[in-house]
Structure 1
Amino acid sequence: MANREALRDLQSRLAGRLQAARSEGVTVAAWLAVQAGGRDYLLPLSQAGEIFPWTGVQPVPYTQPWFLGIANLRGTLAGVVDLAQMLGHGEGRSEQALAEASLLAFNPSLEVNAALLVDRLQGLRAADAFVHNEAAPPRSPTFFGPVHIDSAGRRWQELQLQRLSQTTKFLSIRA
């Protein structure tokens, strides 16, 4: 229960900061920063939806290991995808790790009833938070955007959720 309240507080603070930034003409964040499987990702805010605490997921038989099942997110059934496992660098999680994880729904405008399991929310990032950009690594998936590097040298891989939702791999959950 405390996790849900903390998550609601985070969402309220983020929404308040975005609204204040818009009204003051300040640079508005472009990405939601998350961590999955020990790696850092940037998800476009325009493609990200609501954030939920980990909730029970109903497993679906005969699906890919990265497809965790179906969850009821505010009355909407959504397929839950373990982002790290789908990208090939995740491992199974303990109940404690799952309790600390979050589900990030896709923006309703994408018309995809799905959510990504991420290990940790890292906050919002604007373009001015990065000192350098590089092209996506060679042979990376089509939904990989540029790599953004912050002043500490930390590398953030941008993921285009709209492109991800249209890939054959994402749409083919059958094992």
Structure 2
Amino acid sequence: MANKQALREFQSRLAERLQSARTSGVAASWLAVEAGNSRLLFPLSHAGEIFSWTDVQRVPYVQPWFMGVANLRGGLFAVVDLASFVQDAAAKPRSENDLAQCRLVALNPVLEANCALLVDRLLGLRTTDAFTSSVPPDASAPAYFGHAYTDLEGRRWQELNLQILSQHQAFLGVGV
């Protein structure tokens, strides 16, 4: 029970910081998440509301990374397993307990895509001060990949442009 309360408090603080960052425009640049074994950065202007895991209605004849649709605050959202999509791999099987620890990050409504991305963990907000170096994406990288950053501990972070992702042909092609 204490873990649930601590998680709720963390989510509440994170939501407050996200709102503060959006209104002040200077505090943070990215929402940091973990999806599979990847550390990813979402520009704050592209990220929307964060939801706890909820039941997802499965859909037949779709790509393995397309989990289905979910009702999030009365809206119908497509749910994408981000790790599976980005790593171009089969979705890893998750137990209900594992899914309960995951979060759904909705795309910002200005992107006009009712989509939520399944991430394994929220890692907070990051500014450019958190990183020691950056490199532009490889020529062979997907169009939605932004710069790759290295943090103070030497870990690699990949920026994802969610606006480009939401319009990318592979992302839109959920049918098999």
TM-score of the superposition, structure 1-length normalised? Answer: 0.89
Please give the per-residue CA displacement for 1:105-132, whole angstroms capped at 9, x wherever unaligned: 0001111000000000000001111110
How far is 1:33 from its partner? 0.3
1:94-113: CA deviations, max 9, x gaps? 22211110000000111100
Q: For 1:10, give the aligned amino acid.
A: F
Contact 1:72 1:78 in 2 (8 A): yes
Distance 1:75 1:101 in 2: 20
Percent identical residues: 56
SS at match of 2:170: helix
Report which stretch shifted further, 29-38 or 130-139. Answer: 130-139
Flag structure 2 segments of 5+ consecutive residues without an equivalent: none
SS in structure 2 of the partner of residue 56 of structure 1: coil
Give how far 1:13 is off: 1.2
Specify the alignment match of 2:107 in structure 1.
106
Q: Which runs of 5+ in 1 are unaligned?
A: none
Please provide the CA RMSD for this pair: 2.4
What's 2:142 paired with?
141
Matched, 1:16 2:16: yes
Change (3 A) 1:150 1:92: same
Task: Tell me how many residue pairs correspond in the alignment.
Answer: 174
Deviation per residue, 1:131-158 (Å, 9 max, x gap): 1001113411000000011111011000
How many Å separate the matches in 1 of 2:54 and 2:82? 16
User: TM-score, with normalisation over the residues of structure 2?
Assistant: 0.89
**Alpha-carbon offset, residue 78 of structure 1:** 0.1
Matched, 1:97 2:95: no
Q: Please give the alpha-carbon distance, in whole angstroms, between the structure 2 residues aligned to 1:67 and 1:3.
A: 30
